[in-house]
Amino acid sequence: MPDAPAIEATGLRKTYGKVEVLRGLDLAVPRGTVHALLGPNGAGKTTTVRILATLTEADAGSARVAGHDLRTERARARRAISLTGQFAALDEMQTGAENLRMMARLTRTHGGARTSRAAARTRAAELLDRFDLADAADRLVRTYSGGMRRRLDLAASLVGQPEVIFLDEPTAGLDPRSRQELWSVVRELSARGTTVFLTTQYLEEADRLADRIAVLHGGELVAEGTSEELKRRVAGQRLDVVLTDPAAYLRLVSQAVYSEPETRTLGFLTDGGAPQVRALLDALDPDGTVIERFSLHTATLDDVFLTLTKPAHQEPSHV
Amino acid sequence: MSDTLIMTGRSVRLSRRNVDALIMAMALPVMLLLIFVYFFGGAINTGTEYVTYVVPGVLLLCAGFGSASTAVAVTEDLKGGVIDRFRSLDIGGTPILAGHVLASTARNLIATALVFALAFAIGFRPSAGPGGWLAAIGLLVAYIAALSWLSATVGLLVKSPEAAGGFTFFVSFLPYPSSAFVPTDTMPSWLQGFAAHQPVTHVIEAVRGLLLGQPVGSTGWVALAWCTGILAASVAASGALFKRRTA
């Protein structure tokens, strides 16, 4: 089914013990796009990816990946996808080339045929070149840097030329340079027509890489759209106020989307128009005594994220 | 089947590079043989040359020690993400575990050959014909495979490589309350019952009998039944455990 969406999920639910990790998740990802699943720790990102990558079964709901139903056509789905998880799925005590050759030989083509030894060797060499690892090919993975490891891991997930690739927090723990390198790999994959579904805690990453972003919080999608749409959805501007004393800071901090205790600065979302800003200032400081200065900024994706994933019943902080 | 071969190649490469464990697996049998023959052997009366009596015991003790490292290899696999990658390539638990078990068997057979070579050098004189040798080696292979798969199962049960190491302790001690090093009738009577019926005794008696060209009677079959029983139970249990651990 070449025109089916890359990923289609409806009503995915998963419970571990008494913890409801996913509470009815719907997703639709068109082919050839980069889709980011954004959320704080414990939002259910990894569970979602593991379900979609056939490693975990959902308690309820259905999903199709690359047109294959995950329950009834699991083997076919597996041939069309690959997953790069948070832990490098590599043998430390094998060389980069040995890891890739082994994965290549274990890979079956879409028709189910096996990869020959010679073909596996060629494929491994190709990938090592493409990921700039040819010089390190015969070194044990144990000696690789974090960035090299991540690149090799990604290379290993591409041996079977998957249509859909899942990346679970691909840049967690990488230095800025390795992160940039990984981003360019994702862009290149997408340019070749591969669908990329990635999870991340970094808004910047989602903003830079993804065509569409889904925000996951507490096992549910709380927003979905392009980064521009998401930014517009919340509010256009952020009003930052500097407060005169710590007591005022503590009183107002629970309403803020942004806070900086050192400078007693709090940020609040607004449309940026004079009536709203004036009303907001009055509401925050009815007596006109606690706000020292204010400034207006364009809201960042961070502000959007914090607004959307704010705990529903946040207690005002008491001291 | 060919998945199993690929996974065996992997496990062999991994064990070849685990140099510490490999040296230990080769040095321990040699040291144990020398210790038993020269330190204790003089004080033990078995009715035959002690080296001839003790070789099967040393072989089994070392097979236990060598096989137990399979548990560690399996927990190491589970700790990382590599099992997930294999699963997403549609490789089931059985080829992965079979790879570890076959590599363990190969490792142990090298150690076994080493023990035989040293034993010959210090006076081990078996009198088995080709058939007896074949049967003895076959039984050793069955014992090693059974213990290796059992230890793979343990590897799926425990949570850390350190805990898996504890299993090494258990299987390394199992040959002591048996006829491995001393005849069981020298033990206290409450221990004799266990020593006479536990699987290690049957395997040792059978291997010893076969190597010495003595009639082994039903012992050989009982030993083989123990080995295949342990192997079959381990394969079944590990299949279920693998699914549970990786879900």
pTM: 0.81
pLDDT for A112 = 66
Helices and strands (DSSP H and E) totals, chain A: 11, 14
Does residue A256 surpass a pLDDT of 60?
yes
How far apart (Å, rounded) are the C-alpha atoms in residues A212 and B97? Answer: 41
The set of residues, in sequence order, having a beta carbon less than 8 Å from that of A6 and lying 6+ positions away, is A29, A30, A31, A32, A33, A65, A66, A163, A164, A195, A197
The set of residues, in sequence order, having a beta carbon less than 8 Å from that of A78 and lying 6+ positions away, is A54, B88, B89, B90
The reply to whether B9 touches chain A by the CB within 8 Å rule is yes
Q: Residue A210 in contact with residue A35, Cβ under 8 Å?
A: yes
Residue A111: pLDDT band with limits 50, 70, 90: low
Over residues A270-286, the mean pLDDT reads: 88
pLDDT for A235 = 58
Write the CA distances from A297 to A58, A173, A267, A300, integer angstroms.
42, 30, 9, 9
For A168, the closest chain B residue by CA position comes to: B81
Reported as a single tens digit per residue, the pLDDT across A227-239 is 888 777 665 778 8
Does residue A97 surpass a pLDDT of 90?
yes
Q: Residue A227 in contact with residue A209, Cβ under 8 Å?
A: no
Does residue B104 surpass a pLDDT of 90?
yes
pLDDT for A212 = 94
How far apart (Å, rounded) are the C-alpha atoms in residues B27 and B34? Answer: 11
Determine the residue among B89, B100, B243 to mutate to test chain A binding: the one whose Cβ has the most chain A Cβ atoms within 10 Å. Answer: B89
Reported as a single tens digit per residue, the pLDDT across A73-86 is 988 898 899 888 88
A89/B84 Cβ within 8 A:
yes
Element (H, E) at A167: strand A164-168
Reported as a single tens digit per residue, the pLDDT across A115-124 is 888 999 999 9
- Name the most confidently modeled range: A76-90, A300-314, B145-159, B173-187: B145-159
Reported as a single tens digit per residue, the pLDDT across B170-185 is 888 888 888 888 888 8
Over residues B223-237, the mean pLDDT reads: 96
Residue A261: pLDDT band with limits 50, 70, 90: confident
Determine the residue among B79, B82, B83, B96 to mutate to test chain A binding: the one whose Cβ has the most chain A Cβ atoms within 10 Å. Answer: B82
Work out the widest C-alpha separation in chain A, in whole angstroms: 79
Does residue B99 surpass a pLDDT of 50?
yes
pLDDT for B202 = 92
Handedness of CA B221, B224, B228, B229 (dihedral sign): positive
Query: The tokens of A56 are what?
Result: 């975990």
B81/A140 Cβ within 8 A:
no
Element (H, E) at B239: helix B219-246
Does residue A314 surpass a pLDDT of 60?
no
B17/A78 Cβ within 8 A:
no
B6/A105 Cβ within 8 A:
yes
